């Protein structure tokens, strides 16, 4: 059953996670004002699935069960699914800044492929276990937190070589009825207001570190789980035009001897398939990040246009203003186009689902990661200094100053000063505040730091093919090259015949 945002908020009352914010215990996540913007943002993914105008992209039919599911929990079966997901994520993120729940889609798709692969190699029954659990997640329309990034300790050492073993989540004990988890995941988006966590490794592991190659589902209120979170967005701040309503929390999640029964374990020591899972998740996630940050780009483009208008300027008459807006559009639609290309040139996994093209997914994510700072700069450029200089909103109600401030801080005569000030505060919120910093850093590091993308692009791009091409031209001349043209990096045909390869250390 597809929940509404209200039903989702109410569903959180049935859980009692151990949550701390700023050193205080949180009694009720659903009622905690410091988490409300995060719950509102996730709520968009629920409400939009009920809107007739969005239903085509926000919902999908899960072929393994026949059920109608939220797009954020669907398994992609073709390029059309990937394109719909991209559109759906852009839609919910332009409304909420970051709707967070799309990470569930990425981990479900990675696990769908990795569990099938593990069973084919080891004769295990992980895929069936996973399917049963996934169908329950889809039927109950749950929100999943992705607990992948370990605390990691000394980055130069593998997990088994760390002084403190608990900097990576690992299997502390194997029991006849399940496993016991210990360790710390350092950054989990939305943790307090998720229903369950999916624990998965953040890097490839060797046989020696097999106990770190673990993947399983854990309810957020399982005994032994502690969530140490930050406030979501800028709750209660009058100047926070957007992020007082919509925001995101991240949390450190500590697993202190957490028991996980067999039916919730999807990998437990199969280190090669765990490495495949890490990479498969990363590819799905980087593709999804493209949609998310394009939604953020939409907000900046719209806010920039309103600010220009309120300032009384016309991009058609003022070339430098038009250029800045065109740069903003080019960045946003440039990385989004990589997402479209990655969807179009997807590959089919042996289990039947599809993976977006690795090269285009990673290029898109790399572009948004590095260009986010240019996006902020361009929004600043067209807006002027008011976005950081505007007195606080309480001045709006100060009888001694209000009238005169409105008079002098207005722009075009036919646009009320209040409108100009509101857009100014919105741009401050999205590009200058600490919440703006969140958007920068999640773009840069979320889904893997730039080096992780660069490694993937270098590993998959057919540089040799290009070198051979030039060698052929040098040796024989242009007209003697009879090889078929390649339509896309590494692709032998439009459908793609190459099975996705196991990749090492892709997420980090």
Ligand X SMILES: Cc1cc2nc3c(=O)[nH]c(=O)nc-3n(C[C@H](O)[C@H](O)[C@H](O)COP(=O)(O)OP(=O)(O)OC[C@H]3O[C@@H](n4cnc5c(N)ncnc54)[C@H](O)[C@@H]3O)c2cc1C
> Which residues is 174 bridged to in the sheet?
179
**Region at 394 (left for phi over 0; alpha for psi -120 to 50; beta for the rest):** alpha
Distance from the first to the final alpha carbon of the chain: 36
Closer residue to ligand X, CB minimum distance, 266 or 438: 438
In angstroms, what is the minimal distance from the CB of 438 to ligand X?
Answer: 6
Check if the beta carbon of residue 192 is closer than 8 Å to that of residue 221. Answer: no
Closer residue to ligand X, CB minimum distance, 128 or 449: 449
In angstroms, what is the minimal distance from the CB of 389 to ligand X?
Answer: 28
In angstroms, what is the minimal distance from the CB of 191 to ligand X?
Answer: 8
Closer residue to ligand X, CB minimum distance, 156 or 482: 156
Cβ within 8 Å of residue 294, ≥6 positions away = 90, 93, 332, 333, 335, 336, 339, 368
Check if the beta carbon of residue 354 is closer than 8 Å to that of residue 78. Answer: yes
Closer residue to ligand X, CB minimum distance, 109 or 311: 109
Check if the beta carbon of residue 225 is closer than 8 Å to that of residue 169. Answer: no
Query: What are the structure tokens assigned to 101, written together?
Result: 């729940």
In angstroms, what is the minimal distance from the CB of 55 to ligand X?
Answer: 27
Q: How far apart are CA 200 and CA 214, in angstroms?
A: 6
In angstroms, what is the minimal distance from the CB of 248 to ligand X?
Answer: 7
In angstroms, what is the minimal distance from the CB of 181 to ligand X?
Answer: 15
Check if the beta carbon of residue 218 is closer than 8 Å to that of residue 185. Answer: no
Closer residue to ligand X, CB minimum distance, 447 or 500: 447
Closer residue to ligand X, CB minimum distance, 250 or 347: 250
> Which residues is 347 bridged to in the sheet?
355
In angstroms, what is the minimal distance from the CB of 480 to ligand X?
Answer: 44
In angstroms, what is the minimal distance from the CB of 147 to ligand X?
Answer: 6
User: DSSP character for 150?
Assistant: B
Q: Which residue is nearest to ligand X (CB)?
A: 148
245 annotated ligand-binding residue: no
Closer residue to ligand X, CB minimum distance, 152 or 318: 152
Q: How far apart are CA 323 and CA 317, in angstroms?
A: 11
| Total Cβ atoms within 10 A of residue 272 | 19
How long, in residues, is the chain? 508
DSSP code per residue over 390-458: PPPGGGGG-TTTHHHHHHHH--STTS-HHHHHHHHHHHHHHHTSHHHHHHHHHHHHTTS-HHHHHHHHH
- What helix, strand, coil percent values describe the chain, rounded to 5? 55, 15, 30
Check if the beta carbon of residue 440 is closer than 8 Å to that of residue 379. Answer: no
Cα separations in angstroms, 183 against 145, 159, 188, 227, 279: 16, 11, 14, 13, 22
In angstroms, what is the minimal distance from the CB of 247 to ligand X?
Answer: 11
Closer residue to ligand X, CB minimum distance, 94 or 185: 185
Q: How far apart are CA 201 and CA 325, in angstroms?
A: 40
Closer residue to ligand X, CB minimum distance, 208 or 451: 451
In angstroms, what is the minimal distance from the CB of 466 to ligand X?
Answer: 27
Closer residue to ligand X, CB minimum distance, 119 or 456: 456
Own/partner contacts of 342-345, CB < 8 Å, gap of 24 or more, are: 342/82, 342/287, 342/290, 343/79, 343/82, 343/83, 343/86, 343/287, 344/79, 344/83, 345/487, 345/488, 345/491, 345/494, 345/496
**Site residues for ligand X per CB under 6 A:** 103, 146-149, 152, 155-156, 187-189, 250, 438, 441-442, 445-449, 451, 508
Check if the beta carbon of residue 297 is closer than 8 Å to that of residue 332. Answer: yes
Q: List the binding residues for FAD.
A: 189
Q: List the binding residues.
A: 189
């Amino acid at each position: 059953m597809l929940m509404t945002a209200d039903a989702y908020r109410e569903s959180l009352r049935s859980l009692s996670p151990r949550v701390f914010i700023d050193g205080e215990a949180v009694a009720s996540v659903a009622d905690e004002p410091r988490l409300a913007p995060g719950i509102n943002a996730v709520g968009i993914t629920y409400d939009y699935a009920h809107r007739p105008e969005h239903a085509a992209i926000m919902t999908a039919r899960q072929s393994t069960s026949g059920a109608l599911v939220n797009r954020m929990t669907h398994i992609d079966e073709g390029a059309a699914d990937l394109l719909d997901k991209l559109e759906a994520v852009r839609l919910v993120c332009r409304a909420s800044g970051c709707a967070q729940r799309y990470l569930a889609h990425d981990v479900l798709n990675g696990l769908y492929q990795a569990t099938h692969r593990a069973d084919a190699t080891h004769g295990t029954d992980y895929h069936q276990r996973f399917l049963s659990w996934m169908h329950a997640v889809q039927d109950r329309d749950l929100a999943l937190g992705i607990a992948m990034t370990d605390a990691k300790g000394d980055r130069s050492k593998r997990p088994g070589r760390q002084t403190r073993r608990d900097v990576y989540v690992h299997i502390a004990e194997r029991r006849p009825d399940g496993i016991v988890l210990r360790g710390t995941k350092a950054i989990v988006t939305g943790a307090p207001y998720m229903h369950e966590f999916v624990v998965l490794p953040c890097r490839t592991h060797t046989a020696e570190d097999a106990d770190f190659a673990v993947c399983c589902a854990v309810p957020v209120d399982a005994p032994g789980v502690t969530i140490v979170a930050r406030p979501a967005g800028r709750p209660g701040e009058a100047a926070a035009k957007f992020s007082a309503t919509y925001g995101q929390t991240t949390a450190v999640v500590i697993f202190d001897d957490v028991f996980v029964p067999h039916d919730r374990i999807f990998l437990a020591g199969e280190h090669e398939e765990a490495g495949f899972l890490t990479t498969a998740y990363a590819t799905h996630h980087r593709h999804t990040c493209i949609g998310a940050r394009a939604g953020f780009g939409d907000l900046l483009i719209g806010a920039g246009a309103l600010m220009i208008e309120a300032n009384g300027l016309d991009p058609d008459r003022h070339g430098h203003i038009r250029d800045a807006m065109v740069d903003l559009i080019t960045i946003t639609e440039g990385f989004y186009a990589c997402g479209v290309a990655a969807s179009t040139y997807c590959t089919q996994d042996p289990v039947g689902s599809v993976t977006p093209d690795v090269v285009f997914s990673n290029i898109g994510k790399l572009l948004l990661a590095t260009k986010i700072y240019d996006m902020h700069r361009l929004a600043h450029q067209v807006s002027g200094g008011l976005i950081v200089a505007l007195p606080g909103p309480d001045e709006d109600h100060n009888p001694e100053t209000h009238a005169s401030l409105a008079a002098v801080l207005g722009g075009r005569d036919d646009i009320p000063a209040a409108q100009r000030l509101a857009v100014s505060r919105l741009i401050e919120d999205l590009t200058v505040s600490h919440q703006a910093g969140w958007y920068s850093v999640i773009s840069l590091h979320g889904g893997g730091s730039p080096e992780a993308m660069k490694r993937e692009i270098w590993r998959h791009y057919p540089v040799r093919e290009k070198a051979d091409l030039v060698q052929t031209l040098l040796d024989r001349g242009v007209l003697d090259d009879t090889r078929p043209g390649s339509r896309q990096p590494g692709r032998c045909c439009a459908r793609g015949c190459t099975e996705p390869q196991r990749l090492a250390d892709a997420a980090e």
